[in-house]
Amino acid sequence: MLALEKQAADPGLWNDPESARRLMQRLSSLQDDVNYWSALRQQIADTQELLSLEDEELLPDLETETGTLEAELERAEFRLLLSGKYDRGNAILALHAGAGGTDAQDWAQMLLRMFLRWAERRGFQTEILDSLAGEEAGIKSATVGMNGLYAYGYLKAERGVHRLVRLSPFDSAHRRHTSFALIEIWPDLGDEVQVEINPDDLKIETFCASSAGGQHMQKNATAIRIHHHPSGLVVSCQNERSQTQNRQTALRVLKARLIQQEEEKRQQQIAELKGEHTDAGWGNQIRSYVQHPYQMVKDHRTNYETGNIQAVLDGDLDAFMEAYLRHILGKS
């Protein structure tokens, strides 16, 4: 942090406003961390001082203080679980309906609502960057920006396949159906990290948007699809009003996916060195949501489960995220 403070004091810092902004954001984030841990250390010292007095009249105050301290230490412990490279930053979440036809598209819509409700509970800002409606119901896919402190740190726990078992509302015989949806999570770093993208590596297509948003979205080719040849990644955006805005958003998503792709390669290399099995495909579901013949949500990585499926679908996801983060910490 001393090195950053020295850079911030440089008179020529603001000759490059964008670099200066990134540096000041990083410095402010580190200062917040230092202030938090300093305050916690002082709180512990104050509690120890009360204990050393051995005054019975202070017992009620001491009980209150220790209770507050225990709760804060639990929060501090969880904060340590969110110490990854990109954990403090914003995130981009993408949903894709999988096997299951109309039921799967409806399931993807339910998951989109679930994550939007979760973000609302945390006071995060959300922006639907791209969406593609299903033929009969639900959505085929959607991409959402999630902006808030530790958004990526929390949401990375949701990456993978989510399975729903229920009596299908789209089956005239009302039979039980199983549907799947894939959740992808990428760190959204804005301009904080520079990613070199060669324009010659891009194939950019325009097309008429198919999502809701006004007649201009139907008549004009404002939607953008970008193919990045070296990585094979394809991203699209059609929710903005102009082609320029859609292009900027699509490049933003491409950048996030490239960063995540590099991070996954690094993790796979580490796993191979450790002799661990890695699966880069869809793989098995990470979590099952069962509405029939019983009510249950179970995470298959941690075995954490709850019978209150409606609360989970309404955005009550923190317990699942925390269980996963603690699980990962135990494996490292």
Domain 90-188+295-331 fold = Alpha-Beta Plaits (3.30.70)
Domain range 199-272, CATH class: alpha beta
pLDDT digits (tens, 9 = 90+) for 175-214: 899 999 999 999 887 655 667 788 889 999 888 776 443 4
| C-beta neighbour count of 140 within 10 angstroms | 16
**What pLDDT is attached to residue 223?**
86
Tell me where in the chain the CATH 3.30.160.20 domain(s) lie: 199-272
Tell me where in the chain the CATH 3.30.70.1660 domain(s) lie: 90-188+295-331
pLDDT digits (tens, 9 = 90+) for 25-52: 777 777 877 888 888 888 888 888 878 8
pLDDT digits (tens, 9 = 90+) for 165-176: 999 998 888 889
% of the chain residues with pLDDT over 70: 87
pLDDT digits (tens, 9 = 90+) for 76-106: 877 778 888 889 889 999 999 988 889 999 9
**What pLDDT is attached to residue 192?**
59
**What pLDDT is attached to residue 217?**
43
Average pLDDT over residues 304-328: 94
How would residue 281 be classed by pLDDT, with cut points 50, 70 and 90?
Answer: very low
Residue 283 has pLDDT above 60, yes or no: no
